[in-house]
Amino acid sequence: MTKSIDLMNDEQLMEAVKNGNLAQASLLFDRFHKRIFNFLARMTNDREVAEDLTQNVFERMLKYRHSYKPELKFQSWLYQMARNAFSDYYQQQKQRTPANVKVEKLSEQIPDIIDAFEQEENEKRLIRALSQLPDDYRELLVLTRFQNLKYEEVAGYLDMTVTNVKVKVHRAIGLLRENYFQLENI
């Protein structure tokens, strides 16, 4: 008797994909594409690039499905692919253009969710402050604060100790706060 697809966990679905049942990949896509997109959108500050990279991550998932190890948490494995896709994109951009972020472009891409002008300005300032962080700090904050991943999971993704993750997150928050208040005074 086979398990109902709805009852299969992510690791079981990936095992099925690894073993040739590629139809299960659509379920994994449904479960994870929004999270991966949000992660990449915050890392790139560009919605269109994030969409392309998200598609790239799921193409890589299929291409490298044989490298998946059942003892690994699927989410960790997938986020590592997302990090690699971002890293590849970043290296390509670094070769083409300067590494500075266009703040004007960021402000155009912020979704107009909040009606109050003051809150919208605060959100813009926060995104600008986040974009000014070094990539490793920004990545840690996106994973822990925006993606709500546990420190243990992030430590596994980044091959760091949990203590090291906590220290770096604390430093990143301090630097983010500093950037934010500097922008507030401009």
User: pLDDT below 50 — which residues of the chain?
Assistant: 1-2, 98-99, 106, 109-116
pLDDT of res. 162:
93
pLDDT of res. 112:
41
In 3D space, the residue among 97, 86, 172 whose CA is nearest the CA of residue 129 turns out to be 172
Distance CA 156, CA 167 (A): 15
In 3D space, the residue among 82, 86, 90, 84 whose CA is nearest the CA of residue 32 turns out to be 82
pLDDT of res. 37:
93
In 3D space, the residue among 131, 61, 136 whose CA is nearest the CA of residue 100 turns out to be 131
Contact 135, 90 (CB under 8 A): yes
The CATH number of 8-101 is: 1.10.1740.10
* pTM listed for this prediction: 0.61
pLDDT of res. 12:
92
Sign of CA dihedral 109, 41, 182, 96: negative
Amino acid, res. 130: L
Distance CA 16, CA 179 (A): 46
CATH class name, domain 110-186: mainly alpha
- Give domain limits for the chain: 8-101, 110-186
